[in-house]
Amino acid sequence: MMWGYNDGYGWYWGFGVLHMALYWGVLILLFLLLVKWVFGRRDHARRHGDKSALDILKERYARGEIGKDEFEQKRRDLEG
């Protein structure tokens, strides 16, 4: 009986299993990131694509980002 020979495999089998788990883990992670990127772009466009420029201007005025004079000027510009 020869200890440690095992047809050339020996203790390396443990690292082979670890390597395979790491390989599949990276593939699954890349797939999930791709899915998130594809569907995240659609969700972002849907959230920001519904509003008109006037709606966004009203929101900015309501949040206090712009004053009344600036709001009125930009509203006139948008309405033509």
The residue type of 79 is: E
Neighbours of 16 (CB within 10 A): 10
With pLDDT > 70 as the criterion, what percentage of the chain qualifies? Answer: 71
Question: Residue 63 — pLDDT band, cuts 50, 70, 90?
Answer: very high
- Quick one: which of 74, 34, 29 has its CA closest to 54? 74
Instruction: Say if residues 78 and 54 touch (Cβ distance below 8 Å).
Output: yes
Q: Which two tokens stand for residue 25?
A: 């883990």
Neighbours of 60 (CB within 10 A): 14
- Quick one: which of 39, 74, 34 has its CA closest to 57? 74
16-49 per-position pLDDT tens digit: 778 888 999 999 999 999 998 888 776 665 665 6
